[in-house]
Each structure stands twice: as structure tokens, then as C-alpha cells.
Amino acid sequence: MAKIIGGLGTSHIPAIGGAIHRGAQQEPYWKPFFDGFPPIREWLGKAQPDVVVMFYNDHGLNFFLDKMPTFAVGAAALYHNADEGWGIPTLPPFKGELDLSWHIINHLVENEFDVTTCQEMLVDHACTLPLKLFWPEGDCPVTVVPVCINTVQFPLPHARRVYALGRAVGEAVAAWDSSKKVAFIASGGLSHQLEGERAGFINKEFDLQFLQSLESNPEWATQYSIHELVEKTGTQGIELLAWLAMRAALSAGEGSGVRKVHSNYHIPISNTATGLLALEKF
């Protein structure tokens, strides 16, 4: 059976792509953000995952407001990145893991999650930036199964439902007949709001409590409704749903514990309170 090694979470601000392109990682503005990554890359170098399941949200590249699945799973051999209007360079296509994609889709539908299946799927900055941040050198060494959660167009799925989805994805991975090692990634958040009267809104106290809960009380955030979470974290802070799914996925399979490898929290990059976390499963 496949082995679940752990979970990673990171923010995915488009400007990060520009900073990587310019080689600006050591500039004073960017250093506190990029300095969070080397300890996690070191752990990944030892743990050597073969596949990542990426929980993220599309921002209008693959799904627009006219057609918005609540949950969508990629089942493509290759995932192409395209210009979505932020002016960041596009990355080469990422390799899929078809066998795992269909295994997850079958397991989810069997367990009453009526997901949208995408045999073609463009991936935006939310999917590509975490891969570039965790594996900055050369070609991406892992294959990918993208799991897209709607955080953009109301109504959004309840945190409890997202947690259940994550757990079901974890169960599917744990039961996958493969010798491969799998990691989960959560992309998005933490608190931020890009538009309206509260543009620039950040809630450090909530973010730190949320990060801590992922270690010690993973279902903590499921007590809140979507509207409460938007109130506490901002209209885009609700991207933290991906982190809940990632943490829930770690509760499946052998072993029940997680150990923190490393975390970082830095305010702001662009409009966002950036979070970074690596959890090892044991």
C-alpha cells in the first residue's frame, strides 16, 4: 500500500512567482518569507515523496463564475499552467498520477462526494507556486493529483464538509495499491482580503490559533460557519479550507500522530498573512 509521509501548507500569492523569477529571495521584503522554506526542503529531501495530492482553489483560470464545481479532482496525465493575468511567467506542465487520480475519484464517489472529474485541467498560481517553492531546482520531481475546492463563488462548502473530503482523500491514498510515497499540500491563506472595505484585512491572532490547531486539535476550525470564517479571516482568507483538508487527509492510514517539522508566519506579503507548515505523519 502507498505510504502517507506528511502534509505541507503554504500561501500562494502571485507576486511570489515574480520574486522567484527575478531572484529576489534575499531582498529584505522577501527574505522573511523565503527563509521559511529551507528546513522543509531538507525534510523533503530525506522523506522523498513520489506523489503530491494538492488541495487548492482555482481563481478563475480553469473554472469561471459561470461553472463552479464545489470539489473537482484532476485526472490528467499533464497539467498545463497558463497566463491568468498576473503577469508571472508560466511554468512547464506538471506530470499527473492517473492511477491515483482515478482511485481517489472512485473512492470519493463511492463515499457520496459527487466530485467533478477533470481530464483536462489548467492549473493556476495556487497549484504551481507551492511546487516551485518546495522544489525550486529544475523539473518538479513529484507527480501531482490536484483537488480543487471552491473558495471563490458562494455558496462555499462548510469547513466540516471539507474536513470530511480531506479524510476521504486520505483514506483513498492509504488504500492505494502502490509502493509510492505520498504527501499532501494545502495551498492558500492565511488571513487576507483583496477587495472591498476590508481590503488588506489580516487577523494574526486567528491565524496563529488555526496553525496551532492543525497540530493539536485538527477539527477546531470546523466549529465555524463559512460566514464566521470569512469574518475572521477575510474573503480570501477562507482559502484556509485547503489546510483543513490537508490535515484531515493525514488522519487516514497507519499511525494517528503528526509531528511539526517546521512552520513560519510572516505579515504581509502583498495583502496576505503568509503561513507555512510541514507536518510529518507517524
Catalytic one of 12, 59, 125, 262: 125
User: Which residue, 108 or 185, is less far from ligand DHB as judged by CB?
Assistant: 185
Among 62, 81, 263, 272, binds ligand DHB (CB under 6 A): 272
Residue 180: name the closest of 150, 141, 237 by CA: 141
Query: Cell triple for residue 105?
Result: 475519484
Rounded distance between C-alpha atoms, residue 220 and residue 11, angstroms = 20
Q: Are 194 and 246 in contact (CB under 8 A)?
A: no
Please name the helix (run of DSSP H) or strand (run of DSSP E) that holds residue 73, with its range, or none: strand 71-74
Residue of 278, 130, 122 lying closest to 215 (CA atoms):
278
60 lies in the site for ligand DHB, by CB under 6 A: no
The region of 6-14, 144-152, 170-178, 214-222 touching ligand DHB under the rule CB under 6 A is 6-14
Say whether 125 is catalytic: yes
Output the smallest distance, CB 42 to ligand DHB, in A.
26
Only one of the segments 11-19, 102-110, 224-232, 242-250 lies at the binding site for ligand DHB (rule: CB under 6 A); that segment is: 11-19
Task: Decide if 192 is catalytic.
Answer: yes
Q: Segment 192-211, which members bind ligand DHB (CB under 6 A)?
A: 192, 194
Q: Based on CB atoms, which residue is closest to ligand DHB, 203 or 271?
A: 271
Residue of closest CB approach to ligand DHB: 270
Residues 233 and 252: their CA atoms lie apart, in Å, by 28
Verify binding: residue 232, ligand DHB, rule CB under 6 A.
Answer: no
Tell me how far, at minimum, the Cβ of 85 lies from ligand DHB, in Å. Answer: 10
Count CA within 13 A, CB hemisphere, residue 98. 5
Nearer to ligand DHB, 5 or 211 (CB): 211
Active-site residue among 12, 59, 103, 192? 192
Cα–Cα distance list, 264 to 24, 32, 33, 245 (Å): 19, 9, 8, 20
Tell me if the bond preceding 141 is cis, omega within 30° of 0.
Answer: no
Contact at 8 Å (CB) between 26 and 47?
no
Identify which range of 26-34, 95-103, 111-119, 265-273 contacts ligand DHB by CB under 6 A. 265-273
Q: Is 14 in the site for ligand DHB (CB under 6 A)?
A: yes
> How would you classify the pairing of strands 258-269 and 272-281?
antiparallel
Kind and range of the H or E element at 261?
Answer: strand 258-269
Determine the Cα–Cα distance for residues 27 and 264; give it in Å rounded to an integer. 18
Contact 184, 50 (CB under 8 A): no
Does 13 bind ligand DHB (CB under 6 A)? Our answer is: yes
- Which of 170, 271, 273, 281 binds ligand DHB (CB under 6 A)? It is 271
270 binds ligand DHB (CB under 6 A): yes
* Closer Cβ to ligand DHB, 212 or 270, answer by number: 270
Longest CA span, the chain: 51
| Nearest distance in Å: CB 233, ligand DHB | 11
Contacting positions for ligand DHB (CB under 6 A): 12-15, 59, 192, 194, 236, 239, 270-272
| Residues annotated catalytic, as ranges | 125, 192
